[in-house]
Structure 1
Amino acid sequence: MSTSFSIPDVSDPMSRHPKAPAPGEPFRLHHNLCHGCGDDAPGGLHVTVYAGEGFATTAEMTVEKWMMGGPGVIHGGVLTAAFDEVLGTTPLIIGTPVVTGHLQVDFRKPIPIGTTLHFNAEVVAKERRKVFVRATAHLGDPTEIVASASAIFIEIDLKEHFGKYADSASLSRP
């Protein structure tokens, strides 16, 4: 099934969740073994996502040698997984846990191993259970975009969606 990223003409009302981190503060981990953000995930991406102003977030990830695709640059699938982590965390700023429905990445420039990749993301609309998020990535200069992504996420009930796979303690986080 192919889906295009088309922002709805009218968004459902959105507000920043009262339990969202303050601007500049990191989001809590999904869990310690999360491939995207977990501190204890062997071979994980170790992406750190920070709350921004309004419905925005920023994030950082060190591009490590094991992430190599072409000689000396990040693998496109690793970059896509990093975008999925950043984009999927961003809806928590409005208090909405989500799963990925559609993710599109545009690769603009090679991203060298050994650099720090910076992300800027924002929830741009919500329509019923769909949450529309966009992000860009750069290597320190926000005007030099190396990749961008857009995604549609689907709002879920954590216990209903993951209940048969996880223990209740891991499902209690907002």
Structure 2
Amino acid sequence: MPDELDVLERHPKTSEPGELMRPHNMTCFGCGPESPHGLHLEMYAGEGFSVDAKMPVQQWMEGGPGVIHGGILSSAFDDVMGMTPRLIGPAAVTAHLQVDFLQPIPVGKTLHLHAEILGKQRRKIYVEGVAHLGDPDRPVARANGLFVQIDVRAHFADHVENSAKAAEYLGGKPQL
């Protein structure tokens, strides 16, 4: 992380601490309630520049026998950490994500995820994530990520027509 960081300010229109945050989009794999095969994470704004979520580790998430698949855990971190930029302003996308798997995470348990912005420099946002099974002092995984703020319309312009919600995003225009 760079030495010189921007001063962080909570965006005036963001969720208040303890409030449910709206999904990235309704069909987002991580937080979209309309994603047919998604994680359906409900994320809550935390104090300062943090976001929290809980995720039941279900049987369909199994990787090794009786434990979560590492890709599912990585997806959950990506989504929770990717929600933190909304606390300070414009949307951001993942540029880099690193996950450290500290302990096996059993199917049938509830995973608690916490993400916090460590700093920002221009468009780059540095975020840390931690996961535990109910005891914050005993993490089962950690993650670090770099997110880059974007102009949403420009960033997704060439791909929005592929979305399940293309008509909504394109203002009711029919798909080509």
Q: Secondary structure at the match of 2:129?
A: strand
Letter matched to residue 153 of structure 2 = K
Displacement of 1:87: 0.7
Identity in percent: 52
Report Cα offsets for 1:133-152 as digits up to 9, x if no partner: 00100011111100000000
Alpha carbons 1:31, 1:170 under 8 Å: kept: no
Change (3 A) 1:171 1:21: farther
Show the counterpart of 1:107. Answer: 101
Paired residues for 1:74-153 under 5 Å:
74-153=68-147
Unpaired segments ≥5 residues, structure 2: 161-165, 172-176
Displacement of 1:75: 0.4
Structure with max Cα Rg: 2
Report Cα offsets for 1:43-83 as digits up to 9, x if no partner: 21111211011111111111111000001000001100110
Displacement of 1:20: 0.9
Letter matched to residue 71 of structure 2 = G
Alpha carbons 2:90, 2:151 under 8 Å: kept: no
Match for 2:150 among 149, 156, 159? 156
Report Cα offsets for 1:67-104 as digits up to 9, x if no partner: 00001000001100110001111111111311111100
Alpha carbons 1:159, 1:171 under 8 Å: kept: no
Paired residues for 1:64-79 under 5 Å:
64-79=58-73
1:12 aligns with 2:2: no
Alpha carbons 2:102, 2:141 under 8 Å: kept: yes
Q: Give the superposed CA RMSD.
A: 1.6
Q: Secondary structure at the match of 2:74?
A: helix
Match for 2:39 among 21, 36, 45? 45
Displacement of 1:131: 0.5
Tell me the TM-score normalised to structure 2 length.
Answer: 0.89
Instruction: State the aligned residue count.
Output: 166
